[in-house]
Each structure stands twice: as structure tokens, then as C-alpha cells.
Amino acid sequence: MRSLLHALAALVTTAALIWFGTGLAPEWPLMWVAPAAVLLYALNAGAGATALVAAGAMMLGGTNLWSYLHGALSVPLAILVRIYLIEGVVFALAVLLFRALARRGAYWSALLAFPAVLVSFEWLLNLTSPHGTGASLAYTQLAFLPFLQLASITGPWGMSFLLLAFPAALALASHLRKDHAKEGYRILGATAAVVVAVLLFGTVRLLSPPPAGSLVKVGLVASDGPNERVAEDGAPADQLFKEYATRVAQLASEGASVVVLPEKTAVVVDPDLPRTDQEFQSLADENHVRVVVGVLRVSPPGAGHPEKRRYNEARVYTPGEPVASYDKEHMLPPFESNLTPGTTLTLLRASAGAGTWGVAICKDMDFTQLSRRYGEAGAGLMLVPGWDFFVDAISHGHMAIMRGVESGFGVVRSAKGGTLYVSDNRGRIMAEINSDAVPFTALMASVPGIHDRTLFLVLGDAFAWVAVALLALCLVQLVMSRPAR
């Protein structure tokens, strides 16, 4: 009965902390201790019980996203169950490896093994999943700005690693306090020292002022309600564009250098595209403002492509310059599985002293690789039309903030079904408003538009490979050693 109570206490504690520490509105402090109860239980329980408790805690805690995944994202039930089982199994394997190494007296290896397994899994998902970094635990820490600055060196991988190493150190220190207290204190002290060093680095980075004269006034506008869906081509699209044009002109009169509209505002068929381009180009020229418009462009069958093609596209209208465009690279299945992905960056020459800007669309910002390409090209500001599902306005909409910290640019993201916000290259939100605040929601803010060179641009996803290497070394040590008495 005592063993059963210990198992239930560990399961419920970790599951509850995961539930509230992750999900659509994560409470960031909770994930620093969430796995500790299961890890401590594992050090005093059998392998079978440990596996069941660990897997159960992860799957139960992860049900906070069940309605979102099955409802908003339309993930089929069979696939959803498989996702939960995989996550439960991987978490259980991480805990079992931690347990096995600790039982062999390899406490430092146990400390590293637990985060190494889970970060390696996050990295694998990043390479193979259409959702990129979406499953990373690092996103639970977006509101913890000093810690978020670690992304400028390691990307999300180092953040997840340290976030998971800390509860492992807590569990080891608690377990060793009777027989090997000094070893436990050394493990916890060393881990805490790394955390403190990271936070000091982050604090200093946040205190560094932006370059003089780098601020750019940006405008955002979005409409929900009857316009939440994509307006059909023809009269509905024309009417919606006219209403948006009125708001763009107003923002321009208030000093906006660029105005960003949401993703897929309306359907535009190629024969009508020149007329749409002419109207928005005239709007840009007359008001001396750059305009970014998200459209669903339909290209009828023609030379080079015998079938109709659809593009999730951002059209960019700059005063006195030819129209530029960007085609979204990363589609959201199943909703965009019929769209043709783009393959090239779109870089814009900003006004004097404001550097270079880039364009991406919504889910593109879930991927470190694309943002890093923009960072390497010197982008200081990313203009991002988006479209969310209301409930994920923070959990998904704010993912782009981390890309800005990693690759040294500010983010101007205008989304239907979510929020309009502007963040700087430190992850600070300069301004934000819900897209359904009024029928046409507008926002104005100033943000540094100059690129900030980061170590992540040099190192890339190297820390993910460090995690993989550490996992391999821990597995070798597991095979070569024997359990201690």
C-alpha cells in the first residue's frame, strides 16, 4: 500500500505540474520542478513501476492539449493516441536511463542523460515533423526573459536541456542527502551555478540598449468576425481590400513605415492579380508606406503546370518599387496540404539606416532553419502575416518571438484569430492586442529594425548534436558498468 501511494503521489504531482506548466497558457515556473517527483520516485522503485508512473504522468499531463489538437487542428483520434503513446514512452525511457545510471553510481551521467534523451527527441521531431519545433519545452519559458536569452546561443535545445537538468539535480540531491550528501550538493550546486550564469547573461543582454536611430514605426491591422474566413475572389475580396486600405492609410498618416495585414485575407486569381497589385501599389505610393498583404493566390493551369496551383502568399508593395512576393514554405496539415510551398527568401531594403527586412508567414516561424537563413542574410525585422485558432494565440502565436531572439531580429506579426504584436530581438513584446478587439483591429508600435548578430547564427543547432552525443556516451556507460550495491 505504501508503494502504491508513493507511485500515485509521484504520478499526480508530475502530471499536475506538466498540465499547468505546458499547454496553451503555460505557467513557466512549474516546469522547473515538474519531473522531479517522478525522478525521485524512480530512484527508489522498480523499473516496471517507474516506466508506468513516468509514462502515465507525461500522458496525463499532456491531455491539456487534447481538445486543441483534436478539435482546432483536426488531428485524427488514432494519430492523437499514437502521439500520446510516443511521448509517454520517450519520457519513460528518459526516466529509466536516469534511474539505471544512478543505480550504478554514475550520478553525473544520470543528471545529463535525462535531458539528453528528451532534447534528442525534440531535435528528431524538428527534423521529421511538419510542426518543426512545436513540441519543444523551451516555449514554456517565453515569459521568462532572462532565461529566454539563452536561445541566442543554443536555440531552444539548450533551454530545454537546462530546464530538464534542474529537476534531475533536485531529485539526485534529495536521494543522496543521507549517504552521499556532499555528492548530491555538488550536483545541485553545479547545476544551479549554470542556471545563475545563464540568468546573469540574459539580464545583461536585456539591459543592453538598442542602437541609436534604429527604431521603426510599424502598423498592424486584422479583421475577425465575418471576415475570419478567406474572402472569395471578386466582389467579396474587393470590398475587404477597400476596408483594409482605409485602415492602412490611417496608420500611414500616424507615421507607420510599414503595415502588415494577416495571412490569407482573400482569394486572388491570377487574371485579377494585376488589378489587385495596382490598387495596393497606388495605396503604398500615395501614402508613402510599405504594405504586406497575405493572400491565397490561385494560378489556373498554364505553361509549365497543367494543373491549378494555390499559393499561400504575402504580396509586398513598396512605394516606387516593383511588387515583391513570398510563398509560405511550411504548411499546416491537413488545412494547407493542397498548397504549393515556396523555396526562396524575400528580403526587403528598408529605409536609410533601418537595415534589411524579411517576410515569412505564420507556421514558417516554427522552424529554426528558415529564420536562421533570414538572420544570416542580415534581416533586422520580420514581417509576418498569420492566422491562428484564437485558443493558441499565445502558445503558437508567440513562437515567433523565440526566432527573433535566436536570429537577431524583431517580429511584426499580424494574425487573424489571435493577436497582433510586435517584439524586439530580445523577446520583449513592445505592443500586443487581440485581433477581435474591434471589427478591424489596428496597432502601432516602434521596434528596433537593425539586425543583431547572435552566436546561434554561427553555431546553428550544434547544441542539439551535443545532446545526441551526451546520450550516446551515457548509453555506452550504461552498457559498460554494473549496478552498484
Flag whether 485 is in a domain.
no
Run of H or E including 443: strand 440-448
The pLDDT-based confidence of 356 (bands split at 50, 70, 90) is very high
User: In this structure, are 422 and 303 located in the same domain?
Assistant: yes
Amino acid 228: pLDDT: 62
Q: What is the pLDDT of residues 411-441, one digit of tens each?
A: 999 999 999 999 999 999 999 999 998 999 9
25, part of any domain: yes
Report whether pLDDT(481) > 90: no
CA distances from 417 to 177, 223, 260, 430, 439 (A): 51, 9, 15, 20, 12
Instruction: Give a yes or no: residue 405 inside a domain.
Output: yes
For 22-104, where are the alpha helices, taking DSSP H only? 36-42, 47-61, 66-67, 77-103
Residue 230 per-residue DSSP state: P
Q: Which segments within 226-344 are labelled E, that is strand?
A: 258-260, 266-269, 290-299, 309-317, 324-327
Predicted confidence at residue 225, as pLDDT, reads: 64
| 396 shares a domain with 279 | yes
**pLDDT at residue number 400:** 98
Backbone phi, psi, residue 279, to 5°: -65, -45
Domain range enclosing 158? 2-208+461-480
Looking at residue 89, what is its pLDDT? 98
User: For position 117, what pLDDT does the model report?
Assistant: 98
pLDDT the model gives residue 353: 59
Backbone φ, ψ for residue 470 (5° rounding): -65, -40
- Given a cut of 80, whether residue 123 has pLDDT beyond it is yes
Judged against a pLDDT cut of 60, whether residue 79 lies above it is answered with yes
Note whether 401 and 286 are same-domain residues. Answer: yes
Pair (112, 230) in one structural domain = no
Closest CA to 317 of 295, 292, 294, 300: 292
Residue pointed to by grid coordinates 489556373: 300
CB half-sphere exposure, 414, CA atoms < 13 A: 31
Distant-in-sequence, close-in-space partners of 57: CB < 8 Å, separation ≥ 6: 10, 11, 14, 15, 18, 38, 91
Segment 326-345 mean pLDDT:
95
Q: Which residues pair with 386 in a beta bridge?
A: 415
Read off the pLDDT band of 88 (50, 70, 90): very high
**Are 195 and 239 found together in one domain?**
no
CA–CA dist 222, 387 (Å, integer): 10
- Let me know if residue 455 belongs to a domain: no
Q: What pLDDT is attached to residue 304?
A: 65
Helices (H) and strands (E) in the chain, counts: 16, 13
Residues 151 and 52 in one domain: yes
454 within some domain: no
pLDDT of residue 1: 77
- Which range of 67-71, 226-230, 408-412 scores highest in mean pLDDT? It is 408-412
Q: Mark whether 34 and 102 lie in a shared domain.
A: yes
Asked if residue 227 and residue 163 are part of one domain, the reply reads no
Same domain, 199 and 339: no
In angstroms, the CA 137 to CA 406 distance is: 16
pLDDT of residue 395 exceeding 60? yes
Q: What is the mean pLDDT of residues 263-291?
A: 96
Are 437 and 465 found together in one domain? no
Asked whether residue 98 is assigned to any structural domain, the reply reads yes
Query: Where residue 299 sits, what CATH number does that domain have?
Result: 3.60.110.10
What is the per-residue pLDDT for 213? 76
Q: Looking at residues 139-164, what average pLDDT do you find?
A: 98
> pTM for this one?
0.95
C-alpha pair distances (Å), 401 with each of 156, 241, 288: 12, 28, 28
Contact 128, 186 (CB under 8 A): no
Please give the DSSP secondary-structure letter assigned to residue 470: H
Query: Quick one: pLDDT at residue 154?
Result: 98
Are both 11 and 84 inside the same structural domain? Answer: yes
| Amino acid 280: pLDDT | 97
Q: What is the mean pLDDT of residues 344-368?
A: 90
The reply to whether 236 and 148 lie within a common domain is no
The 10s digit of each residue's pLDDT in 203-258 is 999 999 888 778 999 999 999 865 468 999 999 999 999 999 999 999 999 999 99
Is 249 domain-assigned?
Answer: yes
Confirm whether 456 is domain-assigned: no
Write down the pLDDT at residue 210.
86
Tell me the torsion sign for CA atoms 203, 208, 214, 217.
positive
Q: Each residue of 279-328: pLDDT tens digit? A: 999 999 999 999 999 999 999 887 566 788 999 999 999 999 999 999 99
Report the alpha-carbon distance of residue 359 to residue 368 in Å, rounded: 15
**Tally of domains in the chain:** 2
Pairwise CA distance, residues 352 & 257, whole Å: 12
pLDDT digits (tens, 9 = 90+) for 159-215: 999 999 999 999 999 999 988 999 999 999 999 999 999 999 999 999 998 887 789
Average pLDDT, the chain: 95
